[in-house]
Amino acid sequence: MFKLIDHTADIGIEVEADSLEELFRESARGMFSIITEDLQDVECTQEVSGRVEGEDIQELMYNFLEELLFIFEVKHLLIKDVKVDVEGNRMKYRACGERVSPEKHKIATGIKSPTYHMMEIKQRKGRWWARIIFDV
């Protein structure tokens, strides 16, 4: 589950999940819910996969979201869902989505990048929690 949070110049999300993998999944869904007006309109017609590394969990999250944003910018692919396998500071992902169609999808907000500003990832009461701010 994710929710949008107010930020003075940028936009952010707070994410809560039962597992680390779900936290990454919901963070990606949150980011793409900012990019497109209605993520429900996106279908899983194309798939991409890859690997990401980071020095710590925050860098892993940053690199993961940055890579998905790169895929959006270069391949014009809106990501609807993603499956991840996290092992320490490395992860594999498989994402599905649909190429942007101006007739079908309305791009709401252009995201330049996730940021480290106010980024927080931790476990609280047995659940994972994250705050991520995006530069728009």
Alpha helices of 10-125 — where are they, by DSSP H?
A: 20-35, 57-75
Please report the pLDDT score of residue 5 as a whole number: 63
Q: What is the mean pLDDT of residues 107-135?
A: 93
> Residue 101 — φ and ψ, nearest 5°?
-125, 115
Quick one: tokens of 124? 């609280």
The amino acid occupying position 129 is: W
CATH number, residue 75: 3.55.10.10
- What separation in angstroms does the CA of 105 have from each of 1, 42, 67? 23, 8, 21
- Can you give the residue range of the structural domain that contains 101? 2-135
pLDDT confidence bin for 34, thresholds 50/70/90: very high
pLDDT confidence bin for 136, thresholds 50/70/90: confident
Please report the pLDDT score of residue 6 as a whole number: 61
- For residues 108 and 116, the answer to whether their CB atoms sit within 8 Å is no
pLDDT confidence bin for 10, thresholds 50/70/90: confident
- With 80 as the cut, is the pLDDT of residue 19 above it? yes
Distance CA 36, CA 120 (A): 24
Please report the pLDDT score of residue 4 as a whole number: 67
- Mean of all residue pLDDT scores within the chain: 93
Please report the pLDDT score of residue 109 as a whole number: 86
pLDDT above 70 as % of the chain: 94
Q: What is the mean pLDDT of residues 84-90?
A: 95
Domain count, the chain: 1
Q: What is the mean pLDDT of residues 44-72?
A: 98
Q: What is the mean pLDDT of residues 35-44?
A: 94
